[in-house]
Chains A and B, each alone.
Chain A
Amino acid sequence: MIVATAALAIGLGQAAAVVEGRVLDDRGVPLAGASVVLAGGAPPGVHPAMTTEDGSFTVAGLAPATYTLTIAKAGYPTIEYGQPRPGSRGTLLELKSGQALTLELRLPRGAAISGQIVDEYGNGAAGQRVIVLRSTPTGWSQLRNRYVTPSPRGDFRLYGLAAGTYRLVALSRDAPNESALSAEGVSVSVSAGDEHEGVTLLALSASKTTSVTLNPVGGTPEQLRYPRTELRRPGAERAQFPYGTRNPDGSITFSGVPAGSYKAIVLAGGLWGAVDIVVDGEHASTIPIPMNRAGRMRGRVVFAGTSPPPRRLSLHLVASDLDGIVTGESNSLAQVGGDGTFTIPTIPGRFLLRIVGGSPDGTWRLASAVHAEIDFADAPLTIDRVEIADVVVTLTDETTVVEGSVQLASGAPANGRVVLLYPADPRQRTRNSRRIDSAVTTLDGKYEIRGLPAGQYAMAVLDELDREALKDPAALAALTPLATLTLTPGKTTTQNVTVKW
């Protein structure tokens, strides 16, 4: 029955291939209950098998094609066939018509790291969690689904880890995950089957907390009805307290605020207010926030191209650094009118301009946004005045395309690699730059990146992409570019590269 069904999916004149073999651990012990999955083929599909007591498996009825092979078992790191080191991508398996392939596969045992979180008295500490970071080519990367809640006595155990170097950080319940990146923690290197015991992590004691009430001063109740409020640590990207509780009198209260410095922000109905505050963790404080009228930015949009203009187009401002009133997308959004003019409400800070829309298929792209000879599509514009006029936003319907393939030295396609393009000029590597984009290679090693602005780019190929890490220009500087290329509007640039792994 299996053969008959499979034959339907296999072309005439072709015979099904079979992959069989055994799965052993790093010591050569047969593994029962390991999943072996071939994925790929034509038509595409998945073909799983599970190893029996002696570690053997059979996957039959495979159309001649290329496949990835994945091996997984609870308590073991998941690996791909042919991967040169843990965490990197594997190679493809090419099956010919009627081929019977016998494989002896190795699934290394997972390593375990165990220990205890202790407080300043040396007691086991509860109410903390352990965040695990792994060393990668672009720096430390947080393992997804890999945080551990210790026992009430502070004991923890991590298992199923691939060989490698890890950093363990204890965080209190309310600390954001990102703060693990800046914490020192304990670094441990493990190999397959290692049992690394006795790691001691020091818990940070719970800090004193109190409440902070923000009282907007100025503005009508109507304007202040739906405020967006937050408390943010200086230099942090996201607010530690992203919203407060609105009181009947219009003030906003944040509870459980630990001692420290914050930026208190209120945005509402065309008004903004921002005050730097210090919280002592003991006394409830009420802080008046003087509300200011938002400024405006006026200008017009130029469509440099022959395509019909988009039916709907919005412009908005994105903060370029972390010490402003807002750190990400601002509330500054405006729709472009039928005559091509726009008025964007503004708050002070350093901003880049971005477009939303530009027709359903993205025909129109941002070419430049110029004010006083600054192109703030790429270089931040400092908004320090209420009125900014004569902004010219140019859109283009010509797009750049980069395509190509990534292959191994053997000539085999390298699938699942991340192809990263970033500005060749370090000065253009700003936060929220529009000149950084990436694509993952397909099973045949091909990639395509469309719509980057014209200019000079560097290309790197990575095992994995940590978007958070790449926001830091230093992470880009640490990469070794495999190629430098110049992108021209309306032209397709082909770039093939060979990687070692």
Chain B
Amino acid sequence: MRLMVELILLVAGVLGAGQAPDGTAIVRGRVVNAVTGKPLRGVTVRFTPPFESNRYRPPKRIATSDAGGSFELTALIAGEYSVSASPAGDYLEARFGQRAAGGGGRSLHVVDQARLDITLGAWPAARLSGRVIDEQGRRVVDARLILVTRHGGTVDSAATDDRGEYEFARLAPGDYAVGVPINLTSRTIKSASPPRAPGAYEPAFQPYLLDRAGRTILTTYGAPLPPPARDGQPSVYITSFYGAGGFGDARYIELVAGQSRGGVDVVLRDRPARRVSGVATTPTGPVPGIVLVLSTDERTPWYVSDQITATASADGSFVFVGVPDGSYRLTAYKRNPPFTEVSFAGAAPMIAQDDYVMGDKDVLHASLPFTVTGDQDGVDVFLQPGTPIGGRIILQDGTTPAFGNQPPRFTLLSTQDGRFSRTAPYIEIAPDGTFSGHARPGSYVLDASGQVRGWSFTAARANGMAVEGRTIEVGDTPVALELTYSRGVTALRGYVSDTRGSLTRDASILVFPTDETTWDADGAANVIRYELPRRVAFDIPGLMTGDYYVVAIDETAGLVSRVPAGLRSLVPLATPVRIEPGEPVTVNLVMRDRPGR
């Protein structure tokens, strides 16, 4: 009962004010080096209230530390604040309540007339620097490096200067790999592309190669093109990581707090650029918008592998202007709308951003192993439409669905790697709940989260068989799907307390399906949910029917990785819950310390 009273008071403290009142609280504090205790001066300290949609929130406030590292904020409005400071120099962002370098913060609870004294300890940051050179020892200018952690994802990017030097700064302790991923893009040129006289607007010049037929150019992202060999044979750089070779051979560098590690030189490998050309067709002949992709190691995440793409002309002809020899998988898809063609301003190619994609109704696709050894013409690539998927939504009360212009949405997430994200299933859902579309053969995870007009997904049948878990296999034969929806919405609610029983908003709340196969699916972000902003009381609507884990973690000593390995480490701390439409599921959680690394 005491908990509930405290909960109401806390909520009232945040929401009570309808108009901007003048604050009465004073917060004093110091910003210091978390290791040595040395005061840090001239540091901007930010007090940020949590976002509460559609409610009045106190303003963000800023203070600056003086020569003794001290700061003071007067007339502070009562409320919850996250407090952070970013000292100049090699320090990580300091957060109030942080227990270790790189950890999250706690919120500061400020009441009217409060006189608070806080200390913000900033952890010394690590840095990592070096050069990018090629195999001939030439420095590479304007190379773009990425920094990768062992547990997933890119954490930062940097570029080399005119001396070939780079630096990654403000790093939390951890293991890092560094490399230069290369994208090679062959794109068609506008049929009549008159080079305009250079005018007031000139795009930045980037080097490019023109195919001998004059209809395609090769541009590169990641590093400029290397000089050609003496005989004029062009070459290209390929994705290279510190420690020789590609991402698979990358050497991880362990950095501790405050460490400055230099001499991490990345050697860019260059290879002769081969020409690969041919025609891409479909059962109905050539179609506009075909894009071909050559990818290397299938286990390598897309963001650290060579990305080699070519756009085909409307007649299906394509040229990869420069491809290094090697073994690839050649995939193809139809982009709708097609990429715009390259035009020129003076001598500089102009390529549109092309970020508007509608998806391909037919899910045309091709995938075949492909080996490049020297120039190769006459390559035929045949794109097949996806397997037809049809079916209907059944309402459990036996009524006929009439969803109007808001039918429920569901998606099929590929469990294969991201190279196939371009051929995502395309399914159209009619107001009467019938649907049809196509999907490339493979394994999918059904995502039918969200609810429409009070109906929620409860069960699925594929070709007359009940779907266990969420996995749906698509082969070469058409798939008939029946999705059953029941009256009612889903909700997962509760509040979080610390081990002493006091309510807290300092936990990160994670909800993820018990079925591990969903953790890695392309677009898994949809099935792994976490609660932001962090609140005392959480309320997560629209989860898909099924079994989940829910856990509240204290991340002040370091953040928990959302990749499968990180989720697996949370399972022993988590509470299993079954989500079904109807009454909201209520789970009160105790904040747990994050699992050791």
How would residues 433 to 448 of chain A score, 1 for a CB under 8 Å from any chain B CB and 0 otherwise? Answer: 0000000111100000
With a cutoff of 8 Å between Cβ atoms, the chain A residues found around residue B198 in the complex are 68, 80, 89, 415-416
Which B residue sits closest to A31, measured CB to CB? B227
Chain A nearest CB, measured from B93 CB (Å) = 11
B517 at the interface (CB under 8 A from A): no
User: Judging by beta carbons under 8 Å apart, are B64 and A206 in contact?
Assistant: yes
How would residues 19 to 31 of chain B score, 1 for a CB under 8 Å from any chain A CB and 0 otherwise? Answer: 1111100000000
With a cutoff of 8 Å between Cβ atoms, the chain B residues found around residue A153 in the complex are 88-90, 169
In-complex Cβ contact of B227 among A47, A50, A112 (8 A): A50
Chain B nearest CB, measured from A441 CB (Å) = 6
User: Judging by beta carbons under 8 Å apart, are A121 and B23 in contact?
Assistant: no
User: Judging by beta carbons under 8 Å apart, are B197 and A209 in contact?
Assistant: no
Q: How far is the CA of A244 from the CA of B91 in the complex (A)?
A: 33
How would residues 59 to 100 of chain B score, 1 for a CB under 8 Å from any chain A CB and 0 otherwise? Answer: 111111001000000110100000000111111000000000
User: Judging by beta carbons under 8 Å apart, are B200 and A418 in contact?
Assistant: yes
With a cutoff of 8 Å between Cβ atoms, the chain B residues found around residue A37 in the complex are 347
**Partner-binding segment picked from B206-214, B359-367, B540-548:** B206-214
A12 at the interface (CB under 8 A from B): no
User: Judging by beta carbons under 8 Å apart, are B230 and A52 in contact?
Assistant: yes
User: Judging by beta carbons under 8 Å apart, are A152 and B169 in contact?
Assistant: yes
B226 at the interface (CB under 8 A from A): yes
**Partner-binding segment picked from A278-286, A292-300, A394-402:** A278-286
With a cutoff of 8 Å between Cβ atoms, the chain A residues found around residue B209 in the complex are 48, 50
User: Judging by beta carbons under 8 Å apart, are A282 and B67 in contact?
Assistant: no
User: Judging by beta carbons under 8 Å apart, are A124 and B42 in contact?
Assistant: no
How would residues 178 to 214 of chain B score, 1 for a CB under 8 Å from any chain A CB and 0 otherwise? Answer: 0000000000000011111111100011011110111
Knowing A5-B214, A53-B227, the reply to whether A249 touches B347 (Cβ < 8 A) is no
Which B residue sits closest to A33, measured CB to CB? B227
Knowing A120-B42, A209-B61, A440-B197, the reply to whether A72 touches B346 (Cβ < 8 A) is no
B337 at the interface (CB under 8 A from A): no
Q: How far is the CA of A206 from the CA of B198 in the complex (A)?
A: 41
User: Judging by beta carbons under 8 Å apart, are B346 and A52 in contact?
Assistant: no
A480 at the interface (CB under 8 A from B): no
Interface residues of B in 1-45 (CB under 8 A from A): 18-23, 41-42, 44
With a cutoff of 8 Å between Cβ atoms, the chain A residues found around residue B346 in the complex are 39, 68, 70, 80, 416
A126 at the interface (CB under 8 A from B): yes
With a cutoff of 8 Å between Cβ atoms, the chain A residues found around residue B200 in the complex are 418, 440, 464-465, 467
With a cutoff of 8 Å between Cβ atoms, the chain B residues found around residue A125 in the complex are 42, 88
Q: How far is the CA of A248 from the CA of B55 in the complex (A)?
A: 7
In-complex Cβ contact of B88 among A54, A73, A127, A160 (8 A): A127
With a cutoff of 8 Å between Cβ atoms, the chain B residues found around residue A35 in the complex are 205, 207-208, 347
User: Judging by beta carbons under 8 Å apart, are B347 and A50 in contact?
Assistant: no
Q: How far is the CA of A126 from the CA of B192 in the complex (A)?
A: 48
Chain B nearest CB, measured from A262 CB (Å) = 15
User: Judging by beta carbons under 8 Å apart, are A48 and B208 in contact?
Assistant: yes
Which A residue sits closest to B92, measured CB to CB? A152
Chain B nearest CB, measured from A353 CB (Å) = 28
Q: How far is the CA of A284 from the CA of B199 in the complex (A)?
A: 48
Q: How far is the CA of A162 from the CA of B394 in the complex (A)?
A: 69
In-complex Cβ contact of A253 among B20, B62, B167, B225 (8 A): B20
A208 at the interface (CB under 8 A from B): yes
Knowing A127-B44, A440-B199, the reply to whether A211 touches B20 (Cβ < 8 A) is yes
With a cutoff of 8 Å between Cβ atoms, the chain B residues found around residue A44 in the complex are 192-195
Q: How far is the CA of A110 from the CA of B347 in the complex (A)?
A: 20
Q: How far is the CA of A123 from the CA of B212 in the complex (A)?
A: 55
Q: How far is the CA of A71 from the CA of B142 in the complex (A)?
A: 17
Interface residues of B in 78-132 (CB under 8 A from A): 86-91, 125
B382 at the interface (CB under 8 A from A): no
With a cutoff of 8 Å between Cβ atoms, the chain A residues found around residue B399 in the complex are none
User: Judging by beta carbons under 8 Å apart, are B205 and A72 in contact?
Assistant: yes
User: Judging by beta carbons under 8 Å apart, are A154 and B88 in contact?
Assistant: yes
With a cutoff of 8 Å between Cβ atoms, the chain A residues found around residue B142 in the complex are 74-75
User: Judging by beta carbons under 8 Å apart, are B62 and A50 in contact?
Assistant: no
User: Judging by beta carbons under 8 Å apart, are B88 and A46 in contact?
Assistant: no
With a cutoff of 8 Å between Cβ atoms, the chain A residues found around residue B210 in the complex are 46-48
B325 at the interface (CB under 8 A from A): no
User: Judging by beta carbons under 8 Å apart, are B197 and A46 in contact?
Assistant: no
Chain A nearest CB, measured from B69 CB (Å) = 12
Knowing A249-B18, A286-B19, the reply to whether A119 touches B88 (Cβ < 8 A) is yes
A45 at the interface (CB under 8 A from B): yes
With a cutoff of 8 Å between Cβ atoms, the chain B residues found around residue A284 in the complex are 20-23, 58-59, 75, 77
Interface residues of B in 322-381 (CB under 8 A from A): 344, 346-349
Interface residues of B in 228-264 (CB under 8 A from A): 228-230, 232, 234
Which A residue sits closest to B87, measured CB to CB? A126
Knowing A255-B59, A284-B22, the reply to whether A442 touches B230 (Cβ < 8 A) is no
Q: How far is the CA of A45 from the CA of B192 in the complex (A)?
A: 8
B141 at the interface (CB under 8 A from A): yes
Interface size of A in residues (CB-CB distance below 8 Å)? 79
User: Judging by beta carbons under 8 Å apart, are B197 and A441 in contact?
Assistant: yes
User: Judging by beta carbons under 8 Å apart, are B170 and A152 in contact?
Assistant: yes
Q: How far is the CA of A153 from the CA of B90 in the complex (A)?
A: 7
B54 at the interface (CB under 8 A from A): yes
User: Judging by beta carbons under 8 Å apart, are B207 and A72 in contact?
Assistant: yes
B224 at the interface (CB under 8 A from A): yes
A220 at the interface (CB under 8 A from B): no
B161 at the interface (CB under 8 A from A): yes
With a cutoff of 8 Å between Cβ atoms, the chain B residues found around residue A283 in the complex are 22, 75
With a cutoff of 8 Å between Cβ atoms, the chain A residues found around residue B167 in the complex are 151
Q: How far is the CA of A67 from the CA of B581 in the complex (A)?
A: 70
How would residues 281 to 322 of chain A score, 1 for a CB under 8 Å from any chain B CB and 0 otherwise? Answer: 011111000000000000000000000000000000000000
Knowing A126-B89, A416-B199, the reply to whether A45 touches B193 (Cβ < 8 A) is yes
B56 at the interface (CB under 8 A from A): yes
User: Judging by beta carbons under 8 Å apart, are B212 and A2 in contact?
Assistant: yes
User: Judging by beta carbons under 8 Å apart, are B62 and A206 in contact?
Assistant: yes
With a cutoff of 8 Å between Cβ atoms, the chain B residues found around residue A50 in the complex are 207, 209, 225, 227-228, 234
Chain B nearest CB, measured from A92 CB (Å) = 10
B162 at the interface (CB under 8 A from A): yes
In-complex Cβ contact of B161 among A157, A256, A441 (8 A): A157
User: Judging by beta carbons under 8 Å apart, are B232 and A126 in contact?
Assistant: no
Q: How far is the CA of A259 from the CA of B360 in the complex (A)?
A: 53
Q: How far is the CA of A86 from the CA of B286 in the complex (A)?
A: 48
Q: How far is the CA of A209 from the CA of B89 in the complex (A)?
A: 23
Knowing A154-B88, A282-B74, the reply to whether A256 touches B60 (Cβ < 8 A) is yes
User: Judging by beta carbons under 8 Å apart, are B55 and A159 in contact?
Assistant: no
Knowing A5-B212, A44-B195, A75-B162, the reply to whether A121 touches B61 (Cβ < 8 A) is no
A332 at the interface (CB under 8 A from B): no
How would residues 37 to 61 of chain A score, 1 for a CB under 8 Å from any chain B CB and 0 otherwise? Answer: 1111001111110111110001000
With a cutoff of 8 Å between Cβ atoms, the chain A residues found around residue B197 in the complex are 68, 415-416, 440-443
With a cutoff of 8 Å between Cβ atoms, the chain B residues found around residue A54 in the complex are 230
With a cutoff of 8 Å between Cβ atoms, the chain B residues found around residue A2 in the complex are 212
Chain A nearest CB, measured from B526 CB (Å) = 28
Q: How far is the CA of A208 from the CA of B71 in the complex (A)?
A: 12
How would residues 1 to 45 of chain A score, 1 for a CB under 8 Å from any chain B CB and 0 otherwise? Answer: 110010001000000000000000000000011010111100111
Chain B nearest CB, measured from A481 CB (Å) = 20
With a cutoff of 8 Å between Cβ atoms, the chain A residues found around residue B67 in the complex are 121
With a cutoff of 8 Å between Cβ atoms, the chain A residues found around residue B225 in the complex are 33, 50
Which 9 residue pairs are nearest across A and B when measured between Cβ atoms? A211-B59, A33-B227, A37-B347, A39-B195, A70-B347, A159-B162, A44-B194, A32-B227, A75-B141
Instruction: Please name 18 pairs of A and B residues whose Cβ atoms are closer than 8 Å in the assembled complex, sorted by A.
Output: A35-B208, A39-B347, A44-B192, A46-B344, A50-B207, A89-B198, A123-B41, A127-B86, A152-B91, A205-B64, A206-B62, A209-B62, A211-B58, A211-B59, A249-B56, A253-B56, A283-B75, A416-B197
Known: A74-B142, A152-B125; 18 extra A-B contacts, CB below 8 A, are A5-B213, A37-B347, A44-B195, A48-B210, A50-B209, A50-B228, A52-B230, A72-B207, A80-B346, A126-B86, A127-B88, A157-B162, A206-B64, A247-B56, A248-B55, A256-B59, A284-B22, A416-B197
